[in-house]
Structure 1
Amino acid sequence: MKKILIPALLLLMIGWAGYTFLFTADEEHVAQEGTGLKVGDVAPDFELTTLSGEAVKLEDYRGKRVFVNFWATWCPPCREEMPDMQKLYDGTDVEILAVNMTASENSEAGVSKFIDDNSFSFPVPVDPEGHVTDLYEVRAYPTSYLIDSEGRIAHIALGAMDYERMLDETEKMQ
């Protein structure tokens, strides 16, 4: 009887541990998916340095509409939407902060070359360690946060946006 009881108890304990691990992990995963940045939240402040060496702090843009775009040079949809971002920057009073995920790039010099070669004039803050990218929970490129004049997230766009959509979404903001 003892020969059967000990292996049965051991098997029961292993099964219980596996069950607990699997179902606890699922509940934690679901709880995590329910959190994060949402439309209406105050946009987290950050401070980065641009390619031109200027300090940029999101808080300094309070009172203005801001288009915060997370991108990388190796990302084709990112590259595709940037001329439309330039058009928005040139033709409206919307501020653009094109945050480059520099940790995923070959070099910051390559990012500068890309910006210069395409004559983009909006500020390009660099995120060399990905802290701001993590703060904004960016999981795909490009991701854009449209922030209203009160500092609240008015729209979150995953993927590339064309000029008409950029204009439409920014016109909805105060």
Structure 2
Amino acid sequence: MLDKKKKRLIMRSVILLILFGAIVYALYANYAKDNKGTVEVGEKAPDFVLEDLNGTTHKLSDYEGKGVFLNFWGTYCKPCEEEMPYMDNQYATFKDQGVQILAVNVGESDFVVEKFVNKYDLKFPVLNDKDKDVQREYDVFNLPVTFLIDSNGIVTDILSGSLTEEMIKAHMESIQPQ
């Protein structure tokens, strides 16, 4: 009889220990997830790999030595739609001066994105973050958001909201390699 009580006590203790361990792990994992994905000015921009609509792979670190105008957008976002032609105009000017535009669409289908790109005849690389991994890594929720990244891969500014063509030009000049 005493043997059965001892076995039950040991079994209950093991179960409680496992439950306690699971709770501690869940809290730690949630804390670690919440702290990941905050990109701040002065920090190295997190590297990523995404494909454009032609299937070409773009890795952010491949653009070191150039300034990068990293724009997160969606086809449903009116301010995004307004600034795209301005970005395209400035891309034509700055692409040969060491500044690259990477426009990251957040989670839409290739069909929808391609239709948008064709409508505005955009020339800069449009990347599709279908799983929204890069969006989460950069902690982007409201659109549009633009990260200005210098030639060393450091975030120099984070811009929320729509940009005018003059603002885009000034920001691209600010990340242009010397």
**Aligned counterpart, 1:7:** none
TM-score computed with the length of structure 1 as normaliser:
0.76
Contact 2:38 2:137 in 1 (8 A): no
Identity %: 41
**Aligned counterpart, 1:13:** none
Q: How many residues align?
A: 141
* Structure 1 gap segments, 5+ residues each: 1-28
Deviation of 1:36 (Å): 2.3
Instruction: Kindly indicate whether residue 124 of structure 2 is the aligned counterpart of residue 133 of structure 1.
Output: no
Instruction: Kindly indicate whether residue 35 of structure 2 is the aligned counterpart of residue 46 of structure 1.
Output: no
**Aligned counterpart, 1:91:** 93
- The letter for the 2-side match of 1:97 is L
Deviation of 1:37 (Å): 1.5
**Aligned counterpart, 2:174:** 172
**Aligned counterpart, 1:111:** 113
**Aligned counterpart, 1:56:** 58
Deviation of 1:95 (Å): 0.5
Determine the C-alpha separation between the residues in 2 that align with 1:128 and 1:163.
28
* Structure 2 gap segments, 5+ residues each: 1-30
Determine the C-alpha separation between the residues in 2 that align with 1:167 and 1:113.
26
CA distances 1:112-138 after superposition (whole Å, capped 9, x unpaired) = 011012100100110001000000000
| 1:66 alignment partner, SS class | strand
Determine the C-alpha separation between the residues in 1 that align with 2:172 and 2:110.
29
| 2:123 alignment partner, SS class | coil
Which of the residues 43, 65, 68 maps onto 2:67?
A: 65
RMSD of aligned alpha carbons: 1.9
Instruction: Kindly indicate whether residue 161 of structure 2 is the aligned counterpart of residue 156 of structure 1.
Output: no
**Aligned counterpart, 2:106:** 101
